[in-house]
A and B are shown apart, each in its own frame.
Chain A
Amino acid sequence: AQKITQTQPGMFVQEKEAVTLDCTYDTSDQSYGLFWYKQPSSGEMIFLIYQGSYDEQNATEGRYSLNFQKARKSANLVISASQLGDSAMYFCAMRVRRFSGYALNFGKGTSLLVTP
Chain B
Amino acid sequence: SAVISQKPSRDICQRGTSLTIQCQVDSQVTMMFWYRQQPGQSLTLIATANQGSEATYESGFVIDKFPISRPNLTFSTLTVSNMSPEDSSIYLCSVAGGGNEQYFGPGTRLTVT
Q: Do residues A103 and B94 form an inter-chain contact, with CB atoms below 8 A? A: yes
The CA-CA distance from A104 to B104 in the complex, in Å, is 11
Scoring A35, A45, A107, A109 by chain B CB atoms within 10 A of each residue's CB, the highest score goes to A45
| Chain B interface SS verdict (over half) | strand
The CA-CA distance from A108 to B45 in the complex, in Å, is 13
Neighbour of B42 across the interface among A43, A96, A103, A106, CB < 8 A: A106
Which residues of chain A are within 8 angstroms of B41 by Cβ–Cβ distance?
108
Chain B residue at minimum C-beta to C-beta distance from A51:
B100
Q: Do residues A104 and B43 form an inter-chain contact, with CB atoms below 8 A? A: yes
> Size class of A's contact patch?
20 to 34
Smallest beta-carbon distance B95→chain A, Å: 9
The CA-CA distance from A39 to B55 in the complex, in Å, is 27
Neighbour of A102 across the interface among B92, B96, B104, B107, CB < 8 A: B96
The CA-CA distance from A52 to B100 in the complex, in Å, is 9
Neighbour of B90 across the interface among A43, A52, A103, CB < 8 A: A43
Which residues of chain A are within 8 angstroms of B33 by Cβ–Cβ distance?
98, 103
Binding site for A on B (CB under 8 A): 30-31, 33, 37, 41-45, 48, 50, 56, 90, 92, 94, 96, 100-104, 106-107, 109
